[in-house]
Amino acid sequence: MRLRIFNFIITIAIVHSLGCSEEILLEALHLESKANGILLHMKMDTIPEPQNITAWQANSGWFYITLYKVKGDSTALIPEDIPSGMLDFQVVPSDESLQLGLRLKEPIENYEFSTNHNSKTVLATLHYSTQYLAQLDTIQEMKRPGSNKGMPDGIKKWLYLTGTGITLAGLMQNEDPGLNHQSIAGISLLLSTFLIDKIWQSL
């Protein structure tokens, strides 16, 4: 009787040990390219523990995500189309983990992982550097319709006021009905400011 109980306990311990060491299956991947980074959706049969998901940016331009105690078909997981913002994608399986490699046009500065236990999905949110995002905002502002308004308002206002003042001063000093050199200089400044502003708007 004691032998049967002992064998039963040993059997339960072995089954529990096998269940705890069972690898998680990564079933599918979905990549999305955003203006501020990359979204990677990972569908699994079980959500892994947070400490079993790590990531880092390599100097080679590759960003790596390592999933410990996770397995998957490296051929089936490769997406047919790589989204914009990415140059290459690879899946590298090993005995204890599955590594995902993303070769990006811009390096990743920050990242975070969120889980959805209902859909058994892990979402990796990869953010580009703040310096790149600042440059992107500047480019978008320049391309925005109506953003090129010509000469800066402060400079334009100062030139118009200066030109008007020079012209009026020249007219007040001139006793003849014609224009003197000072008034001609003022009018030239006004015309030049107007033309430069129009040319600036057309660029």
- pLDDT, one tens digit per residue, over 13-30 is 444 444 445 789 999 999
Whether 56 and 76 share a structural domain: yes
Instruction: Tally the domains of the chain.
Output: 2
For the chain, give the mean pLDDT. Answer: 79
Among the candidates 116, 141, 166, a domain finishes at: 141
Residue 191: the pLDDT is 86
- CATH number assigned to the domain comprising residue 28: 2.60.40.3500
Cα–Cα distance measured from residue 40 to residue 32, given in angstroms and rounded to the nearest whole number: 6
Q: By the 8 A CB rule, do 36 and 127 touch?
A: yes
Same domain? 35 vs 135: yes
Alpha carbon distance 51, 115 (integer Å): 13
Task: Report which of 88, 84, 132 is spatially closest to residue 108, judged by C-alpha positions.
Answer: 132
Instruction: For residue 63, give the nearest of 105, 114, 13 by alpha carbon.
Output: 105
Beta pairing, strands 70-71 & 24-34: parallel
Residues 110 and 175 in one domain: no
The two three-digit tokens of residue 173, written as one number: 């000093």
* 34 plus 81 within the same structural domain: yes
Determine the Cα–Cα distance for residues 58 and 66; give it in Å rounded to an integer: 13
Structure tokens at 90: 């690879």
Under a CB-based contact definition with an 8 Å cutoff, are residues 85 and 38 in contact? Answer: yes
One domain for residues 103 and 165: no
Write out pLDDT tens, residues 166-195.
777 767 766 666 667 777 877 888 888 888
Listed residue (101, 112, 96) closest to 36, CA to CA: 112
Query: Are 102 and 177 within one domain?
Result: no
Q: Are 61 and 91 within one domain?
A: yes
In the structure, what pLDDT confidence band is assigned to residue 148 with cuts at 50, 70 and 90? Answer: low
* Whether residue 107 sits in one domain with residue 29: yes
The answer to whether residues 157 and 83 belong to one domain is no
Asked if 105 and 41 sit in the same domain, the reply is: yes
Alpha-helix residue ranges (DSSP H) falling in 60-129: 74-77
56: number of Cβ within 10 Å: 11
Query: Which residue range forms the structural domain that includes residue 198?
Result: 153-202
Are residues 163 and 89 located together in one domain of the fold? no
Q: Are residues 58 and 135 in the same domain?
A: yes
Predicted model pTM: 0.58
In a domain, 82, yes or no: yes
